[in-house]
Amino acid sequence: MSNGVDKNRRHFLTVATSVVGGIGVAAMAVPFFASMRPSAKARLAGAPVEVDVSKLEDGERVTLSWRGRPVQVVRRGEEAIARLSEIRDRLRDPDSERSDQPEYATNEYRSLKPEFLVMVAVCTHLGCSPQFIPDPGDAAMGSDWPGGYFCACHGSRFDLAGRVYRNVPAPTNMDIPPHRYPDDNTLIVGEDAEVA
C-alpha cells in the first residue's frame, strides 16, 4: 500500500469490472447476431423440395412450390420426346442459348433426364401461369399443336420443354430450376446436380 492506495484491491476491481463488462457485451451480441439470420420460414421457403417421381405416368404432371414459384414436373413419353426435335424450326430459341437454366439442362430436353421436364411454370412475358395442354392436336390449339403450354394472357406458346414459339409475346423460354436425382425415384428441386 502506498499513499493510502491498495494496489491489490485496485487490480482486483479492474479485472472484475473488465470480466463483467465482457460478459455484458457478449450477452448483448448473441441476440443481435442471431436476429440477422434468416427466419425458419425464410429458410424453409428457399429449401430444396423432394418429389417422388416413381408414380408419374406419361403425360402426367405434379406442381410444387419452390422459393414461392410454381415448379411443374412432367413425365414425357417417348412420342412426346420425339416431337421435341420435330418442331425446332417453329421455336425462337430451340437450343436455349438465351434462357435461364443450369448448364446441364442446356439441351433439347432442357433437363437431366429426357423423360422428365422440371420447369418454373411462369410465362416469361408478364408472369402469367400458362395452361398445360399436353395432348397433340388439341381441338382448341389446332391440328398442328404438338402438346405443351399456352399462356391465355397474351397468347404465348411453349413446347413440352418450355421452349417458346416464334412470333409470340414471350421473349425467352421458361426457366429451369436447379435439380438432381439422388436415385431413380426421387427428384430434388433446388439443388444442382454438380454440387451433389
Task: Dig out the grid coordinates for 162 from the structure.
Answer: 418450355
φ, ψ dihedrals at 44, nearest 5°: -65, -40
pLDDT band at 196 (very low <50, low <70, confident <90, very high): very low
pLDDT band at 83 (very low <50, low <70, confident <90, very high): very high
Percent of residues, the chain, with pLDDT higher than 70:
93
pLDDT band at 38 (very low <50, low <70, confident <90, very high): low
Burial class (CB in 10 A: 0-12, 13-18, 19+), 110: buried
pLDDT on residue 194 = 67
Percent of residues, the chain, with pLDDT higher than 90:
79
φ, ψ dihedrals at 47, nearest 5°: -75, 150
pLDDT on residue 35 = 78
Average pLDDT, integer, range 22-48 = 79
- Asked if the model's pLDDT at residue 195 lies above 80, the reply is no
**Buried residues in 33-47 as b, exposed as e (16+ CB within 10 A):** eeeeeeeeeeeeeee
Q: Is the pTM of this model over 0.85?
A: no
Residues 89-121 have pLDDT tens digits of 999 999 999 989 999 999 999 999 999 999 999
Average pLDDT, integer, range 153-179 = 96
SS3 105: helix
Burial class (CB in 10 A: 0-12, 13-18, 19+), 90: middle
Average pLDDT, integer, range 171-187 = 95
